[in-house]
Amino acid sequence: MRLQGKVAIVTGGGSGFGEGISKRFALEGAKVVVNDLVDTAAGRVAREIVAAGGAAHAVAGDVSKDADVSRIVATALAAYGDLHVVVNNAGTTHRNKPMLEVAEEEFDRIYRVNVKSLYLTAKHAVPHFRAKRNGVFVTIASTAGVRPRPGLTWYNGSKGAAIVTSRSMAAELAKDNIRVNVINPVAGETAMLAQFMGEDTPEMRARFVATIPLGRLSLPSDIATAAVFFASDEAAFITGACLEVDGGRCI
């Protein structure tokens, strides 16, 4: 098992990509702290991991709030005595629409969740990582941050910021043997899909899938496979990398 003995926090782990990452990490031997804004969602995923023979602990919390992120990291250390990996997966978007129709409140929430959360998880996890000179951050960003499209302007910008922030972290933290890498998924079979497309209809899906050379949307398992690699010791000499898991959409 590629993550045997590691303790990982997965934010937004109660559904979608985060759920897939949480469950795959557990299968690979990690002890997983499943965070989600919705406590019942985090609890369900943690229970399913335990029922399957893995180790998991649920903790509700808003990744855009300092006190909540502090509690998430403290929970991992209290429950398992260590922390090796933080997967910054929690994210949000606005519905596909013209940029000037996005309310200021929506804009602020997108940047709090998609960008500020990276600052907060670093604030609370880096001191522990530095003390033992080892640690991993994996940012789940988006192809929207490298190949933006109309209708999601402010979401695109937040993911671009998450990518650059993560790479900047990688440059600064490398001296402490802390690695930071980025995964850029194309839109997948998750609850956010309708937001990205504006509406979830067979016609809209067909139009979207037609832009992906490999001919399908991403799956949580696709993103989880990449996250396992970055979290594992196999990627010990990789930092600041951005991996598009997108079926070729960014070609």
8 A C-beta contact, residue 184 and residue 13: no
* CA-CA-CA-CA dihedral for 154, 187, 201, 14, to nearest 10: -90
89-122: buried (b, 16+ CB within 10 Å) or exposed (e) per residue?
bbbbbbbbeeeeebeeebbebbbbbbbbbbebbb
Chain-centre distance for alpha carbon 221 = 13
Ranges of beta strands (E only) in the chain are: 7-10, 31-36, 55-60, 85-88, 135-140, 178-185, 242-245
- CA distances 135 to 8, 94, 124, 183, Å, are 10, 32, 12, 17
d(CA 36, CA 46) in angstroms, rounded, equals 11
The answer to whether residue 155 is catalytic is yes
Catalytically active residues, by annotation: 155
